[in-house]
Amino acid sequence: MQLINPPTSPLILDSLPDPAVSDGACPRRARMQLDFLLLAIEALDTSGSEAILMVVRELELQSVIPDRVALWRIRSTNPLRRLTQQQPLTLPEGKALVVIICYLARRLTGVVRQYVLTQQQLAEQEKTAEDDYYLASYLERFRTHFKARMSNRRSIEIGYGEPQDLDALALDCLAQLLFCTGTSGMQRLWISLFDGEVA
């Protein structure tokens, strides 16, 4: 698919390599994963959507994500969304989302680390996340966001139809956000999105 007038990349995006994808766009799995990580951030921080736009301005990413409508369009390239966009997610747009996710994940490091540790401790004690008020609240918010924005039919088709499936996804997102806060987290997250996609 030919991309029309792809956005110019700010300097901060230059640290992320361009993978050898034939159409110059992010694959389906990457589009889903980036949107899920943003959902997790919104479930962790009630000001998540506003924080995303604030980071866009702080990091001068407006040439890629100029406004709230553009952010909605970019996130709607996730094929599970109720209203999906047929336009591809360009590499600069995907890079911008990775930068935003990692930047916000670092701000939330303490909360993310605590939730991951709590989940591990509960598993060792053969308890569930529902046994911890704060972790259970995060999972409930994640499920609420997911159900409000994703197509129920398409979600069921790929295995996200039951509450326990969404809880597993939410916990997996926590682990990935913690991964983002580590050394070279931004580069590692970006490269991981293309595992198995690049020849």
List the chain pLDDT tens, one digit each, 199 residues.
334 344 455 778 888 998 888 678 999 999 999 999 999 999 998 787 788 999 999 999 999 999 999 999 999 999 999 988 788 999 999 999 999 999 999 999 999 999 999 999 999 999 999 999 999 999 999 999 999 999 999 998 889 989 999 999 999 999 999 999 988 999 999 999 998 654 4
DSSP the chain: -PPSSPPPPPGGGGGS-----TTSB--HHHHHHHHHHHHHHHHH-TTHHHHHHHHHHHTT-TTTS-SHHHHHHHHTTSTTBSS--SS--BHHHHHHHHHHHHHHHHHTHHHHHHHHHHHHHHHHTT--GGGSHHHHHHHHHHHHHHHHHB-HHHHHHTT--SHHHHHHHHHHHHHHHHHHTSTTHHHHHHHHTTTTT--
Domain boundary assignment for the chain: 24-188
Q: Is pTM beyond 0.75 here?
A: yes
